[in-house]
Structures are given as C-alpha cells and as structure tokens.
A and B are shown apart, each in its own frame.
Chain A
Amino acid sequence: MRFEKTQRTPLVEMSNSHCLIVGECYPENISEWSQPVLAALEDCVGDGTQGSFDVDIELYYFNSSSAKFLFDFFEFLDEKADEGISIVIKWRYRVEDDTMQEAGEDFEEDIENCTYHLVEAEPADA
C-alpha cells in the first residue's frame, strides 16, 4: 500500500510488517486524507496477536489538525501492542529540528505499550 507524497501530505508506505511516513503533513481537510491511511493501517496490522510491526516516521512539519491524526495513529498502534503484537516506532528528527524533537517527545508520553525510539536523523544540508 502506498500513498504518494503531495505538497501537503507525506509519503506513506505500508506492508504487513512495516509502515513508513516521510514528509510534511498539513492537508486542507485532514480527515479526507487520514481516514484511508488509518483504514490501511488497520488492514495491515490486522487482528493477529503474533508478529511484529515496525513504524518509521520522519516528519518535517505537521499542523495541529494533523497532530490529532498522529494521536489516533499511535493510539491504534498502542492498542495493538497491548493485544500482543510487538510494535517498534522510530520517530526520526534532525538534530537542529527542535520542533519535531519536541513533538516526538510529546507523543512518547502517551505511548505505553509500543517500543518507542526517538532517533536523530542526519542533519539537513547547511
């Protein structure tokens, strides 16, 4: 499953074992974009209690509406992790990007069952 990147939405790639989100996220109407992505996530993670699921997120910007989407996204994963699936989330941010670093730290507070890593990505070109 693949959602192509647009000016206002990130690239989303999803398989049965992996989810990648890269880019910026500030669509005009967040639910139009987020609902198919969340549905796809439900399909991919499924009802299994076995297996593992890796999530890689590298966002450069998201607006406050999109923050709600991200909360929903992590909430779903956290429930699945509670059901027994081993889920690892990597939140990548660039060293100089304190906004994304803080956002990552905010999300970390809400996550209980997933393994959550804040990962420093290589810095943007000076």
Chain B
Amino acid sequence: MTIKARLLLIVVGGIFLLFGASFYSNQQLKEANAGYNADASLTSYTSAWFGSLDGSYVNNLEVYDPTDGSFANIDYWDFEKDPYTGEDTNPLHAAFRIGNAQSVSNFLDEVFLDAIDNETITFVTAYGVNGQRYYCNSSLYLVGVDPCSEDASPDYMDEFDELISAVGRGSTRRISLIADASGELPVSVNDTMVFGLAMPADDASGESQDASGESQTVGVIILGANIVDGLEMFAENFEVETAIALQDDVITVYDYYEEELPEGLGGLIESDLSASRDEGYTYSTIVPELKHRVTSIPFSRETRASEVRLLIFDNQTELIEALEQSSFQNQLSFALVGGAILLVVFFITTVSFNRINSSILALEKIERGELEKTDENNYKLFTSDNDEVSRLQRSIEEYREHRIEAEDQRQERARRRDERDSIMFEKMSVLSQQLEGNARDMLVQEIMDMRDKLSSGNDEDKEQASIEMMSRAFSKMSEEVSTLIDARTQELVVARDEISSSIRYAAKLQKTLLPKSFPGDIDIEVEWRPRDLVGGDIYFIKDFPDKVYIAVVDCTGHGVPGAFLSIIARSHLDKAIREDGDQTAGEYLSEVNALLRATLSRADQSNTSEEGFDGGVCIYRREYRSLEFAGAKASLFNVDGQEASEVGGDRKSVGSSRIPDGFQYSTHYVSSPSGAFVMLTDGITDVMSPDERPVAFGRRRVLRILRDSKNATPSNIVKEIISSVDLYRGNAPLRDDLTLLAFSLEDPTPATENIAISGESKG
C-alpha cells in the first residue's frame, strides 16, 4: 500500500469518525432537548388542564359546598336553619332521615334547577345512607349515558359505603365515571363534588337524647359536571386534540357526539399504548412518524394516572420537520465539508506524490546516467517554492548539475587520457621502428595488445589500462634510454680516452720544450706543475758561454690553449735573444713583447682576448758575476741568510694591448748576487684556501717561508714552498698552472755582502 493510499485511508477514516461523533452528539442533544421539551410540556399542560378543570369546579360545583360554598347556598345545608321559613330546623335533613323522596326532590329542585337548566351542573343526585336514591336530575344536553337513567352505572355506587364515611369528614371532589350498562353509550366523565347532610344523632334516632352530641350523616348529595365542555374549550384554546384514557378504554369528545375521529387521531391514540407501556402513565413524547407530541397526564389532582388520564396530542409537524431539516442539513454540510476536505487532501497528495514520483524518476534517470533535463509537470496549485517537494526538486537539480560537472570532468579526463595514450602509442611506434628483430616484434605486439585494452571496457578499465600502458611504456623507454646512455657513455669513454691520450702525448711534447740540462755553475731546482696535463706555464734556460738566460713564464690560459701560447712564447723567448752585445733583461723582455704583439696582431683590435704572458727574466753574466732581472707582473725573490727580499717587475703583461707603444721594461740589477733566488708564476701565489671566501696564498707567505727557511738551498726552498702550498690549498682545486724555480749561483768566493738591489729603467 502506498503512502498516498494510506494517507487517504486515514483521512477517510477520520472523516467518518468525526461524522459518527457529530451524529452521536447530535442525537444526544436531540434526546436531551426532547426530554426537556417533554418535561416542559408535562408541566405546562398539567397546570393548564388542572387550572381549567379547577376553575370550572370552583365556579360550578364548589359554590354548593356546605362549608366552602357561597353564602347564598350554605344555608340550604344547615341543620339548624330552615332556608325558607327561618325556623330553627331544616326540613331537608328530616326528609332524608325519614326517606321522604318527594320532599327531598322538591327541596333540591329548588336549589339546583336553575343551574341544571344553565348547564353549569350536568346532574345532581341524592341518596340516603342506605343507598336509596331520593333525587336525580340531569341536564337535557348531556353526553353519554344519562346519570339518572336506569342504565347508568356510576362508579361511586361501587364504593358507596366508603363514600358515606368519607362525606362525614367534609365534601369530596372526585372524577366520576358513569358507564352505560347497556353498553351503547360511552362512559361519561364527570367532575363531581360529593357532600353529606348531617344532623345530631339524637335527633336522627328520634327517641333518646344522647349526650354525646355526635352528628350523624343522613344523606349524600352528588353534583356532577361533565368535562366534555371543558375538554373542548381546552382543545380549542391550545389547538390540540384530546382523549381520555381509562383503564381499558379511550374516549374522545367525538365519541360522545358520535362523530368520526379526525384523521390520524386513531393512530395517535394507539401510539399511547406503546408509549405508556414504555414510559408510564405520565409522559410526554414526540411521535415523529405522526408528527405529533403525545402528552399523558393524570386526569385530575384527585385521580391516579393509572385510572384516568388525559391525552393531549399537539401537532409538531413544523418542529419535527425543522429538526429533521436541520439534522439533514447538518449531515449534508458535514458530508460536503468532509468530501471537500477529502478532495483537497486527495488533490494535494496526488500533486505532491506525483511531484515526488517525478523527482524519484528524475533521480533514477540521473543514477542511470541520463543527465539531460526532462519536462517537469508544472503544478502551480497547492505548491510553493519553499515546500518540501520543491526543495527536494532543487536538491535533485543541484545533484544533476554536480553529476553533469563530474561527467564533463570525466570526459575531459578521458580526452586527455586519449591524447596521452595516442602520444604514447606514437612514441612507442617510433621506438619500435628503431628496434630490430624480436625486440621490434614484441614491442609491436605489446602496442597492439594495449590498443585492444584501451578501446574496450568501461571508463575505469580504460583508466587502468592507460596507467598500465604508461608504466610499461615508461619502463620500455627507460630500458631503451639506459641502453642508449650505456652506448653513449661507451662512446664518450672512448673519446675521452682518445683525447686524454692525445693530451698525454702533447704533454710529452711540451716537456721536450723544457730545458733538458742546467748550466753546471748554477744550482737550479724547478717544480713545474700544469693544472691539466699540459699548461700555459713554461720555464726557459739558455746557456751561453758568457751568460745565462733564465725565464719563468705564465701564458694566459691553461690547458691546451695555454700550451699553444706557451709554444709561441717559447719561440719568441728564443728569437729575442741577442747573443752579441749587451742586451739587458729589460731590453730582452721588451723585444719579446714586440715579437709577441706582432705575432698576435695586436695592432688590429678585432682580437679582444688578452693573450700574452706574465713572467720574469734573469740574465746572469759570468764575467761580471752580475745578475739582472726584468719582470712583467712578476717578481724575483731572494733569500740570503735570514733576509728575504722581493724585486717587483713592471705591472704590464707581455703582449698586452694595454702596453703603450714604445714601452720598455725596466732592468733590475743585483750587484752581488748571493743566496738563493726564486722565480714563480701566479699559480703559486694564487693557490686558494678551501674556504667559502678563499684567500690566495700570496707573495707575503712566500717571503715568510724564505725568511724562515733554515737551509735555503734551491731544492729545499722548492720543497718547502710546494709542501706549504699543498698544505694551504688542502683539497681545493688548483686554479692555474704553477711553476716554481729556485737557483743559486755557485760562488768560489763566498759572498760577503747581502744582496743590494737597485732598479733602473732603461726605457
């Protein structure tokens, strides 16, 4: 059962329950109302009827009461007064006592004839205490049996003794029923007053004077008034129909006049049978089917309802119809409202559940991956943008958008993946073409397998396949690359070996340019260390009979270019020597400079590099034992005993474009050369400490080593400086080639002077 059906069922059930409750309470209200109306009817009809009955009794019968009656009548019944003669004995009593019916008749006619003629009294009878009737007179217009007729059977005669004893205590009022013994006429119902005539007992007995003074009843007079007139008047006044219910009979005024009962009255009278059975003899009830109210009350104050009752039938058509109308309207309006509610609920639930259903369908479509928007049923009635279903629809719409976005992203991913895959295929294909034989076939087969995998299956499988392919392609390619690298490395190793063997050969050649022998009279120690196998540093010793040239040169650059330049420099150092004449060291260096600049075409400025060299030259003249020095950015160090000194050269590199034309290097003379002399390239002084901000070894350290040297022979000096430099640089690389040359002039007559240095420019 759907929620909608359940909801509708609950609503229908609720409406029916409400209807039942309303119906029940309506019934209760109606019953309470009827009960209240019944009580009101009973009270009002009883008092009205009794009032009418009593009024008639007081006016017509009670005026003859011996004690309560009118003054005019009281005297008729006084034993000690004769109403006509004024004697002190009433003849009526005596007439009763002696049974003189004629006298009684005469007397009573005198009293009642007018009233009977006027029909204020229906009948009057008088009896003696023995039950003998002395008088009876009745109206001409009575209904029912004549009370004075032979067939009359009045009920009071059935209990005459009780009547006699009752009248001794005063007059009594009673309803008397007089039946027709012949059964032809209906019982007549009469309001009656009964009173007795009494006289002293002694007078009554007529012989002994009894001292008791008790009075004795001598006769009974009964006055009756038929209630038919009163009943008619009552019916007329209240616009009702009436009936008299006896123990076994019901009489209406129509019976008395022998008329037909009006329509419906018979049915009403019959309805009393069942009503009185249910509710007792005093009741008031609505008989809806007959559209009347039936009220049953005791006929008078003196009668019991079980014996004689008055039935009053009043027409309640309007009331009943109004009630039925209202009840009908009530039910109708209930049905209408209930129906309307049901309809509205049905409509709302239908709309809501249709919308929910369409939301569910939309959601199911999204779940199936159908993301395009479908037509929504656009209910406007009973919906709002903020109700639950609208919110649900909005959420679903957002969800759909998210899914569309995700789908777009997925497609974008797939597209990129495809691009990536195709690039991968291309590369792999290219790779496969570079391979041969089995390797090629295997790779081609692998590519085809991958293609198959990538072109089938769902997104996730494809993604998986793509990743797998990527990793396989990657490993394949990296295999190939490492193979390639191995091959290249092999080539490089070969090339490097070739180059280094060339360079080793070049180094051999370069070494042949270095002096092979030293002059016998000069102790020379050299440390020549190119940074690479070959270098720009070179030292040069040219021995002539009279003089010796010693040069230490640092060509710009190092390695192979430095080596090339060193060959040029070597050749110019050779060429610039003038064997004859007094070429000074300065002149010599200036000549080398000139040659070198010519060679390197320093004139034109197109060569922007600064090829050339730094270096120093010493010339030792054996004849004079003199030593002269010229330097281009180089110094000559001398150590003699504990003294160390430095002779600086000019600060101009040989071959430099910065040298002005006609520049001459100065010649420095060492007048009495003694001790050891040291020449070096800046490879020594530029050895750097292995610091973050390194400091060069510097010339000052060289001087300090010389000064501190205990045994300043050339070989010792070279050893000390080189070990100091190596210690200084630690593991820092050499920046440059380095050359260190130390020499001492062997002196047959040891020097007595310290070295004196004088500088003289020959420029």
Contacts and interface: CB of A to CB of B under 8 A. Distances in A.
B182 interface: no
A26 interface: yes
B735 A68 contact: no
B380 interface: no
B614 A97 contact: no
A64 to B, nearest CB: 4
| B557, B610, B688: residue with the most chain A Cβ atoms closer than 10 Å | B610
B556 A24 contact: no
B368 interface: no
A112 interface: no
Given A24-B688, A61-B694, A98-B698, 15 more contacts: A26-B736, A31-B608, A58-B693, A61-B686, A61-B688, A64-B610, A65-B556, A65-B610, A68-B608, A71-B610, A96-B695, A96-B698, A98-B700, A99-B685, A124-B693
A71 B657 CA distance: 11
A47 interface: no
Contacts of B699: 98-99
Contacts of A94: 693, 695
5 contacts: A24-B688, A26-B736, A63-B556, A64-B653, A97-B696
What is the size category of the interface that chain A forms with chain B?
Answer: 20 to 34
A61 B691 CA distance: 12
Interface in B594-637: 608-610, 612, 614
A60 B610 contact: no
A123 to B, nearest CB: 8
Contacts of A61: 686, 688, 694, 696, 735
Nearest to B703: A98
Interface of B: 554, 556-557, 608-610, 612, 614, 651, 653, 658, 682, 685-686, 688-689, 691, 693-696, 698-700, 735-736
Contact of B695 (A60, A64, A65, A68): A60
A64 B698 contact: no
A59 to B, nearest CB: 10
A124 B691 contact: yes
A63 B240 CA distance: 152
Most buried by B among A58, A65, A106: A65
Contacts of A58: 693
B694 A124 contact: yes
Contacts of A68: 608-610
B735 A124 contact: no
A32 interface: no
A100 interface: yes
A20 interface: no
Contact of B651 (A60, A106, A125): A106
Interface string A6-45: 0000000000000000001010001100000000000000
Contacts of A31: 608-609
A8 to B, nearest CB: 9
Contacts of A26: 735-736
A67 interface: yes
B736 A125 contact: no
- Ranked nearest first, the 7 interchain pairs of A and B with the lowest CB-CB distance are A68-B610, A99-B696, A64-B556, A98-B698, A124-B695, A60-B694, A97-B695
Given A26-B736, A63-B736, A106-B651, A97 B698 contact: yes
Contact of A99 (B610, B653, B658, B698): B698
Contacts of B693: 58, 60, 94, 124
B610 A67 contact: yes
A101 to B, nearest CB: 9
A123 B114 CA distance: 174
A94 to B, nearest CB: 5
Interface string A93-120: 0101111100000100000000000000
A96 B696 CA distance: 9
Contacts of A71: 610, 658
B736 A24 contact: no
Contacts of B653: 64
Nearest to B656: A68
A99 B686 contact: yes
A1 to B, nearest CB: 23
A96 B688 contact: no
Nearest to A28: B559
A119 B395 CA distance: 76
A26 B688 CA distance: 12
Given A24-B688, A60-B695, A68-B610, A96 B736 contact: no
Nearest to B683: A63
A96 B735 CA distance: 19
Contacts of A99: 682, 685-686, 696, 698-699
Nearest to A97: B695
Interface in A54-82: 58, 60-61, 63-65, 67-68, 71
A125 to B, nearest CB: 7
A30 B609 CA distance: 9
A106 to B, nearest CB: 6
